[in-house]
Structure 1
Amino acid sequence: MHIPVNHRLRPQWRFLAGLSGAYLLIFGIVGAIRTAGEPFFSRGDTEALGLKTNPAFAWLSIIVGAIVLGGAIIGRNVDHFINIWGGAVFLLAGLIMLTVMQTPLNKLNYEISTCVVSFIIGTIMLIAGLYGKVGTPAESIAEEVLRHSTRPGDKFAVKPHANK
């Protein structure tokens, strides 16, 4: 499989990734305000935008949200790399926090709802990264030719035919 270059839905996915970054930034700011004065890794009941948080999670959200939003604003393949890696990290973080949720290792005060939000943001960012690659028109055409070409011995490939 190849990552498409200059995909027609790139602007929409870039917008959704930027929206995810803005959500993380706002969540982090609200969380930092609401958890001011609490221990950094507290396991309290403080919520921001419907999710439990603590100062560590709030500040981490501010940093990550600013990076994702900045990547969406900059574009030019910066967002492509940020979204692919960030999406993978969000999916992995959701899985890890799901496994340690009821243990003392839950330092970011995660709940099931936080894991679900992490999975949603990770999926949006990963798809945005996969469809977000930018290239020259020549690179785009070369990628399309490569994607639709047949390989020798591929019995299920669609064979190109000459127009009559």
Structure 2
Amino acid sequence: MAHTPINHPARPIYRAIGGLTGLYLVVFGVLGIIAGAGDEILAQDDTRVLGQGTNLGFSLLCVLLGLVVLVGTALGRNIDVAINQWLAYALMVISLAGLAFIRTDANFFNFSIFTVIVVMTAALVLLMAGMYGKVGTEDEAEAFQKARLVL
């Protein structure tokens, strides 16, 4: 049995928060595409969007990931839970890799420290939305409650 709550009373709020995070990624990505138009895809220059360093490659990735989150939120049925959790882990890896390579030539996504902070925060918000948005039958919810009370 998973250790995430089933039919949490605030799951519609968590689902909305996940959708808003996806919307933020799309808006950031579109603004980054506009700001980075004409540059190389993985340019390492001074392009900034909403105070974050970015380039065309990272902006395209943000649009793609944001659309995936929005589609998952629209579909629901625990598809959003899986998408939010997996993309949260992926964004954590991207954020930590960006932090590790921030002052090197391997900074492919042109990250700044503020970009690392925002991407890690978005990842944690998506993980939270994925953890508390799970929907199940009443029997599954009851079994979860009984197992929780035993521990």
Identify the residue that residue 48 of structure 1 maps to in structure 2.
49
Identify the residue that residue 148 of structure 2 maps to in structure 1.
147
Matched, 1:38 2:43: no
Deviation, 1:49, is 2.1
| SS of corresponding position for 1:134 | coil
Identify the residue that residue 133 of structure 2 maps to in structure 1.
132
Per-residue CA deviations over 1:78-117 (Å, capped at 9, x if unaligned) read 1100111111111222111101111111100001000000
Q: Residue type of the partner of 2:77? A: R
Q: Residue type of the partner of 1:117? A: V
With normalisation by structure 1, the TM-score equals 0.87
Identify the residue that residue 159 of structure 1 maps to in structure 2.
none
Task: Quote the RMSD (CA, aligned, Å).
Answer: 1.2
Structure 1: tracts of 5 or more residues without a match: 151-164
- Kindly name which structure, 1 or 2, has the bigger radius of gyration based on alpha carbons: 1
Aligned partners of 2:114 and 2:140: how far apart in 1? 41
Deviation, 1:125, is 0.6
Sequence identity (%): 38
Per-residue CA deviations over 1:108-154 (Å, capped at 9, x if unaligned) read 0001000000111011011111111111111111111111125xxxx
Q: Residue type of the partner of 2:73? A: A
Structure 2: tracts of 5 or more residues without a match: none
Identify the residue that residue 59 of structure 2 maps to in structure 1.
58
From the two aligned structures, give the one with the greater helix fraction. 2
Farther-moved stretch of structure 1 (137-146 vs 17-26):
137-146
Q: Work out the number of aligned pairs and report it.
A: 150
Per-residue CA deviations over 1:10-56 (Å, capped at 9, x if unaligned) read 11111111111000001111111121110111011122222121110
Aligned partners of 1:7 and 1:86: how far apart in 2? 21
| SS of corresponding position for 2:116 | helix
Identify the residue that residue 103 of structure 1 maps to in structure 2.
104
With normalisation by structure 2, the TM-score equals 0.94
Aligned partners of 1:17 and 1:104: how far apart in 2? 33
Matched, 1:76 2:77: yes
